[in-house]
Structure 1
Amino acid sequence: MSRPPLPPFSSQSAIEKVRLAEDGWNSRNPSKVALAYTEDSQWRNRAEFVTGRSAIEAFLARKWAKELDYRLIKELWAFTGNRIAVRFAYEYHDDSGNWFRAYGNENWEFDDDGLMRYRHASINEHPIDAAERKFHWPLGRRPDDHPGLSHFGF
């Protein structure tokens, strides 16, 4: 299975890869998103270590079951060869209606078929008031005309 764009990345293909990842995560579809990773992909997500596509799918199902109305923006930070670094922010609320914003950085490494082999994520979050939310679009893909992270100073 191939997941273009493929490494080695150019500036344009790295930007495209980041946007495709953002779009996938904003779908909140664990089985679809998990297909972007190798069968034996290794993750570090905060303090949790996840290995393998099925474990990734289970992780994402748990995540989006408790992070409601999840909206994410990713932005390219750097790239070289088969690696991409991104920064991101996302907003969600819990089942009690408490809103949060999370900020983080990810380092990605891809195989020759464009599947992500390694994902290392460092994430911090804090509570926000609903009035502090910045990510206002219908659930799903962020519209092309919606501002990115740099616009918000994140």
Structure 2
Amino acid sequence: MSPSDTLRPPLPPFDRAGAVLKVRLAEDGWNSRNPEQVAQAYTEDSQWRNRAEFPHGRAQIVDFLAGKWRREHEYRLIKELWAHDGERIAVRFAYEWRNEAGQWFRSYGNENWEFAADGLMRRRYACINDLAIREDERLFHWPLGRRPDDHPGLSELGL
């Protein structure tokens, strides 16, 4: 752990409760749509694969996220634990957003995460597919920001 990094609990190895909490904390961070804040959850040299983009390190992650949220308006995300083992967590997710032209999308995907001992994510591999939806097909209606605790998750929504 470098002097500039702090512990980001829960720490690996993850039990089920720790993995569920880590997933929710990641969801909350991404729903903030704050690239600088989100990037603090990753190691300085974190490696990503996000679709066909390969950000490496926090500076590139900030740039990637800033561009993402300039294009993806009304962004709302739900993540759900799929599996965990030691320092790794697998997640499935869906998020809804609209583009500049007003077309709504639901993006579905899976992520594989690997964590350093300090709880920062050192690897993130994401596979994502976009589905165009009508506005009346949207399922994520909470105010922008953190998903309320009483809002259904992916399984409850049948996703």
TM, length-normalised to structure 2? 0.96
Query: Is 1:139 aligned to residue 144 of structure 2?
Result: yes
Match of 1:98 among 95, 100, 103: 103
Whole-Å Cα distance in 2 between the matches of residues 45 and 66 of structure 1?
A: 15
Which consecutive segments of 4 or more residues in structure 1 shift more than 3 A?
Answer: none
Q: What RMSD, in angstroms, separates the aligned Cα atoms of the two structures?
A: 0.4
| Aligned-pair identity (%) | 69
Whole-Å Cα distance in 2 between the matches of residues 67 and 123 of structure 1?
A: 14
The aligned residue for residue 71 of structure 2 is 66
Q: Deviations over 1:16-62 (max 9, x none)?
A: 00000000000000000000000000000011111000100000000
Whole-Å Cα distance in 1 between the matches of residues 114 and 58 of structure 2?
A: 15
Structure 2, unaligned stretches of length 5 or more? Answer: 1-5
Whole-Å Cα distance in 2 between the matches of residues 12 and 111 of structure 1?
A: 18
Alignment length, in residue pairs? Answer: 154
SS at match of 1:118: strand
TM, length-normalised to structure 1? 0.99
Structure 1, unaligned stretches of length 5 or more? Answer: none
Match of 1:42 among 47, 53, 66: 47
Whole-Å Cα distance in 2 between the matches of residues 123 and 97 of structure 1?
A: 20
The aligned residue for residue 20 of structure 1 is 25
The aligned residue for residue 3 of structure 2 is none
Whole-Å Cα distance in 2 between the matches of residues 59 and 66 of structure 1?
A: 11
SS at match of 1:147: coil
The aligned residue for residue 34 of structure 2 is 29
Q: Deviations over 1:89-126 (max 9, x none)?
A: 00000111110000000000000000000000000011
